[in-house]
Amino acid sequence: MAISSSSNLAKEEQKLAFKLLLPAFLILIIIALYPLGQVFYTSFTNREFASSTKTEFVGLDNYQALLSFTVKELDPIIDQETGEQAVDEETGEKQFQRPIRVLPRDPHLYRPAFEFSFFGNKYVVGARTPDFIRSVWNTLVFTFFSVFFETLLGLIVALVVNSEFKGRGAMRAVMLVPWAVITVVSARMWEWMFEPTRAGLFNMLGDRFGLIDGSYSFLSSANLQLPAIIAVDVWKTTPFMALLILAGLQLIPNELYEAAEVDGASKFRQFFNITLPLLKPSLAVALIFRTLDALRVFDVFQVMLSQKRYSMASFNYFQLISARKMGMASAIGVIIFIIIFAFAILYMKSLGVDTE
Amino acid sequence: MRKNLLLVLALVFIIAFSGVVMAQEEDEITLTIAAGAVGQEKATAEEAAAMYMERNPGVNVEILDTPDLANDRYGLYLQFLEAESSKVDIYQIDVIWPGELAEHFLNLYDYGAKEVVDKHFQAIVQNNTVDGKLIALPWFTDAGLLYYRTDLLEKYDREVPKTWDELEETARYIMEEERAAGNEDFYGYVWQGNAYEGLTCDALEWIYSNGGGKIVSDDKKITINNDKAIEIIDQAAGWVGGISPAGVTGMGEEDARSMWEAGNALFMRNWPYAYALGNEEGKPTAGNFDVSPLPAGDSGSSAGTLGGWNLAVSKYSEHPEEAAKLAMFMAGEEVQKLRAVEATLNPTIKSLYEDEDVLEAAPFFGSLYDVFTNAVARPSTATAPKYNQVSEQFFQAVHSVLTGESDARSAIEYLELDLMDTTGFETGEPTQP
């Protein structure tokens, strides 16, 4: 008797729990699962944005267009007179055939995404949408470097404002200012500082100290674009990192340091044996936050580089808004989703974040 | 306590409802125009809106600020249109958009536009007519012009350049002299080199003036892959970091204008709107510049890209009648004259080019009348509804040459293949008058 009544009670409770959870589930379905499903569905169609043209189901076409690539070897150009490989007279570089001669055109046009050399042979990677492949690469580079520098600088800043000194409270507040500025506003601000003439801060300073000639175009020359964008993001998001790490630092009990002091451990040793291990959980959370955030970066790229260079998200935006390919844009959205999901799982596994 | 609370609640209700009732009695409607804000566009549009509101009590006209770059503006509009939003009643649309956006706009012939269209330039009216429907009223027209500093040309005894080679030579000479004289920030030529629609306009001017056709010909042949086009794009790439700042590959109209108005450029390619602004008091350019047709290339004649903006009434407007009436007023003689005089925005009404006030404010409207009437149209009709993609592929290809990422020949060869892919057209030889 007693057993059955308790199991009845458990069942009742389960029912109640289910009822109580139902609204949350419904909301989740409406605001998360439904739009996501819609994007998945649209990614299999050729829907056009803001148009009444008929939408057709095209299967995996969008994904194929985005992801197919091919690697071809570029044949060296043979000089007719000498019988050896021709060399550019100006640069002294060996000449190879141009990718347009070797990449397939039928049934789909492959365009060069990038070239690389391997044992003296030159290869070209062709893709049907090289801009997308490049945008993924840009985003990964951006994510790696910005998160790396933000973590490093954030840790230093957190350690500084965690130590006792006069005006610590004010310092902590001031530290947060860059993070409080809206990204679009700070991106515009930096855009002015990056001006390609001496009207821009960096060119002015560089010119004054005789480092550069005052006409560096940070935002239009290919080598400087990503470093410039990463600098903006590091400036803006380091405070956020510092804040998260600071919270972790404050959880570490002072007694540990006192004991270490008594045992004669150096400050250096204290940092690596006490601070870092105990900081690991907070660092892991901070890293996950920032990495996932950086992977879907949009605003800095859109404001500062627009269509000069894409991140995954800004490429997605331009496919939707400028090319009006809603099906294609949805497929990109799905791919971004999968990439970010993969990163999340990777982090959880490798950093041993407890999910329970 | 409770009584007080009830009293307060009752009061709140009374006030709230009377507000609603009063608003209904007044019956004021709000019409929103999504308009440009480049230069004095917004200020003059607001002035015109104020005039309209004064004459039409009960109508409240609001001007919605939109992004400066045409591509960004297009994106914003598409979002409104996809949502079938009634928030915007009138859209200011680019001369290249009618083909792509026609389905979202009302046929203005149904709202009495028949009587006014004859006053406007017929080429633009035709451009805005899709399947016999007039989907937008011409508001102002544009053509690319060469701005030059009269004081500096005089100082160094040089002529206004007639060809691109002359421009290059003069720009280099005066730039070096000016720099030696102490103005280290001085450049020869500024233009629109950012990867956006403006570069399509600039590059089309180079290519067409060099006899390289207009990317896609009117009879739907892809003509871009020819030596003349490649040659002039190469030449333009040579300007970057030389007579033009390296950062010109990130410049739009307003960036070029701010550098020009600071007195740091000898030549500028821009639209007519920069004329009135450059003459504003206190600016180094005031009174020291003039405009001419852009230089010519091998074809021997100059080419200015046809620009310009039109007013279209949204199908999703809640007050289509009133909105059409407002659009007609805005595109009418009075407002066009106001905008021509104050902001040097070219009228689309023929008779205004003989108007004394207009000619006094912008003498070049008269002297360069041919430039405006013979401007080169971008291939938006031939490639509709895919023009935007075509243009993007074009400006990306040119931009990659300007930044040195690609050589002109490869970029143009790929562009040709891309365009064939996008449009499905055959290739052909450029034909030019």
Helix H, strand E, coil C: the string for B339-357 is HHHHHCCECCEHHHHHCHH
pLDDT above 50 for B131? yes
**Same-domain pairing of A152 and A224:** yes
User: Does B433 reside within a domain?
Assistant: no
**Which residues in chain B are contacts of A195 at CB distance < 8 A?**
247
Confidence of residue A116 (pLDDT cuts 50, 70, 90): confident
Paired tokens of B366 = 């008269």
- Say yes or no: B54 and B172 in one domain: no
Closest CA to B276 of B149, B361, B367, B334: B361
Which residue has tokens 């600020």? B65
Task: Kindly state whether residue A119 falls inside one of the protein's structural domains.
Answer: yes
Residues B185 and B222 in one domain: yes
Tell me whether residue A111 is in a domain.
Answer: yes
Residue A335 domain flag: yes
Same domain, B317 and B168: no
Report yes or no: A98 at the B interface, CB cutoff 8 Å: yes
Residue B21 scores a pLDDT above 90: no
Q: Is the pLDDT of residue B19 over 60?
A: no
Distance CA A284, CA B322 (A): 59
Domain span at B91? 2-143+307-373
Do A321 and B79 make contact, defined as CB atoms within 8 angstroms?
Answer: yes
| CATH at A319 | 1.10.3720.10
pLDDT of residue B221: 94
Is there a single domain that holds both residue B65 and residue B122? yes
* CA gap A66, B251 in Å, rounded: 30
Whether the CB of B242 is below 8 Å from some CB of chain A: the reply is no
Which of A307, A309, A318 should we substitute to test contact with B (largest number of B Cβ atoms within 10 Å)? A307
Among A83, A102, A127, the domain-final residue is A127
**Which chain B residues are within 8 Å of A111, Cβ to Cβ?**
414, 418
Average pLDDT over chain B, rounded to an integer: 91
Rounded-to-10 torsion of CA A323, B218, B141, B163: 110
Separation CA B386–CA B366 (nearest Å): 35
* Long-range contacts (CB closer than 8 Å, 24 or more residues apart) made by B175-181: B175/B243, B175/B266, B178/B152, B178/B266
Distance CA A99, CA A123 (A): 9
Share above pLDDT 90 across residues of chain B, in percent, rounded to a whole number: 81
- Tell whether A182 and A325 lie within a shared domain: yes
Mean pLDDT of A198-226: 87
B255: domain CATH number is: 3.40.190.10
Q: Residues A340, A195: one domain?
A: yes
In chain A, residues with a C-beta closer than 8 Å to the C-beta of B259 are 197
Whether the Cβ atoms of residue B329 and residue B52 lie closer than 8 Å to each other: yes
User: Is the domain of A115 the same as that of A146?
Assistant: no
Answer for the pair A125, A118: CB distance below 8 angstroms, yes or no: no
Do both B241 and B335 map to the same domain?
no
Q: What does pTM read for this prediction?
A: 0.88
Place of tokens 């044996």: A273
Ranges assigned E (strand) in B16-143: 29-35, 59-65, 90-94, 129-130, 133-134, 137-143
Distance CA B200, CA B388 (A): 11
Nearest to B325 by CA among B7, B124, B10, B58: B58
Can you tell me the mean pLDDT for B302-319? Answer: 95
Question: Is residue A21 very low, low, confident or very high in pLDDT (cuts 50, 70, 90)?
Answer: very high
- Find the domain containing A255 and state its range: 131-351
- Does residue B158 share a domain with residue B121? no
Mutation to test the A interface, candidates B194, B239, B386, B420, most A Cβ within 10 Å: B194
Contact map slice: A 121-160 vs B, CB within 8 A: none
The torsion angle over the Cα atoms of residues B279, B284, B288 and B290, rounded to 10 degrees, is -60
ipTM above 0.90, yes or no: no
Min Cα distance B34 → chain A (Å) is 17
pLDDT at B139 over 60: yes
Average pLDDT of span A323-348: 93
Selected for mutation to probe chain A from B244, B400, B417, B422 (highest A CB count within 10 Å) is B417
pLDDT at B274: 95
Q: Is residue A253 part of a domain?
A: yes
Domain boundary among B373, B393, B412: B373
Mean pLDDT to the nearest integer, B201-208: 96
Q: What is the pLDDT of residue A198?
A: 83
What average pLDDT does range B200-227 have in this prediction?
94
Report yes or no: B368 at the A interface, CB cutoff 8 Å: no
Cα-Cα-Cα-Cα torsion B230, B233, B237, B239, nearest 10 degrees, comes to: 130
Chain A interface, best mutation among B105, B185, B190, B200, by max A CB count within 10 A: B185
Tell me the C-alpha distance between B232 and B406, whole Å.
Answer: 15
Q: Does A222 touch chain B (CB under 8 A)?
A: yes
CA angle A11, A14, A18 (to 5 degrees): 140
Same domain, yes or no: A99 and A136: no
Dump the DSSP string for A85-111: B-B-TTT-PBPB--HHHHS--SSS--E
Residue A215 inside a domain? The answer is yes
CB contact under 8 A, B250 and A217: yes
Complete DSSP assignment for B38-65: STTHHHHHHHHHHHHHHHSTTEEEEEEE
Asked whether residue A355 carries a pLDDT value surpassing 60, the answer given is no
Nearest chain B residue (CA) to A108: B421
Question: What confidence tens digit (pLDDT) does each residue in B72-85 have?
Answer: 899 999 999 999 99
pLDDT digits (tens, 9 = 90+) for B181-194: 998 889 999 999 99
Q: Say yes or no: B53 and B185 in one domain.
A: no
* A29 DSSP 8-state letter: I
Encode pLDDT of A48-99 as tens digits.
Answer: 998 888 899 999 999 999 999 899 888 888 887 777 787 877 777 778 888 8
Q: Are A101 and A135 contained in the same domain?
A: no
A242-246, A309-313, B9-13, B251-255, range with the lowest pLDDT:
B9-13
Residue A44 placed within a domain: no
Number of A/B CB contacts below 8 angstroms equals 93
Cβ contact (<8 Å) for A49 and B249?
A: no
**Residues shown for chain A:** 356
Instruction: Kindly state whether residues B233 and B329 are assigned to the same domain.
Output: no
Is residue B432 included in any domain, yes or no? Answer: no
Cα–Cα distance list, B114 to B109, B125, B127, B347 (Å): 5, 11, 15, 19
Q: Predicted confidence band at A194 (pLDDT cuts at 50, 70, 90)?
A: very high
Let me know if residue B282 belongs to a domain: yes
Rounded CA separation B319/A328 (Å): 35
Same structural domain, A79 and A99: yes
3-state SS of B140-192? EEEECEEEEEHHHHHHCCCCCCCEHHHHHHHHHHHHHHHHHCCCCCCEEEECC
Q: Are both B84 and B126 inside the same structural domain?
A: yes
Of the listed ranges A297-301, A313-317, B300-304, the one predicted with least confidence: B300-304
- Confidence bin at A2 (pLDDT 50/70/90): low
Residues A205, A307 within the same domain: yes
Same structural domain, B279 and B333 = no
- In whole angstroms, what separates CA B433 from the centre of its chain? 25
Residue A249 domain-assigned (yes or no): yes
Whether A259 shows a pLDDT value over 60: the answer reads yes
User: How many CB atoms neighbour CB A17 within 10 A?
Assistant: 10
Distance between B404 CA and the closest CA of chain A, angstroms = 9
pLDDT tops 90 at residue B298: no
Residue B414 lies in a domain: yes
- pLDDT band (50, 70, 90) for residue B47: very high
In total, chain B counts a number of residues equal to 433
Residues A110 and A249 in one domain: no
A202 and A281 part of one domain: yes
- Residue that terminates a domain, selected from A127, A153, A175: A127
Residue B95: DSSP 8-state:
T
Same domain, B296 and B327: no
Q: What single DSSP character describes residue A55?
A: P
Q: Are residues B99 and B168 in the same domain?
A: no
Q: Supply the pLDDT for residue A104.
A: 87
- B13-22, B126-135, B159-168, B400-409: which has the minimum mean pLDDT? B13-22
Q: pLDDT tens digit string along B419-433?
A: 998 899 999 998 776
Residue B20 has pLDDT above 70, yes or no: no
> What whole-number distance in Å separates Cα of residue A335 and Cα of residue A347?
18
In percent, how much of chain A has pLDDT > 90?
Answer: 59
In this predicted structure, what is the pLDDT of residue A352?
67
Closest CA to A114 of B39, B406, B160: B406
How many domains does chain B fold into? 2
Q: Do A109 and B421 touch (CB under 8 A)?
A: yes
Q: Where are the beta strands (DSSP E) in A32-161?
A: 69-74, 111-118, 121-127
Number of domains in chain A: 2
Contact B93, B309 (CB under 8 A): yes
pLDDT at residue B197, as a whole number? 94
Contact flag A308-B388 (C-beta cutoff 8 Å): no
Classify B133 as helix, strand or coil.
Answer: strand
* pLDDT at site A356: 44
Kindly state whether residues A230 and A201 are assigned to the same domain: yes
Could you give the residue ranges of the DSSP H alpha helices within A181-325?
A: 183-193, 201-208, 222-251, 254-263, 267-270, 276-295, 299-304, 312-321
DSSP element (H, E) containing A166: none
Residue A268 sits in the same domain as residue A313: yes
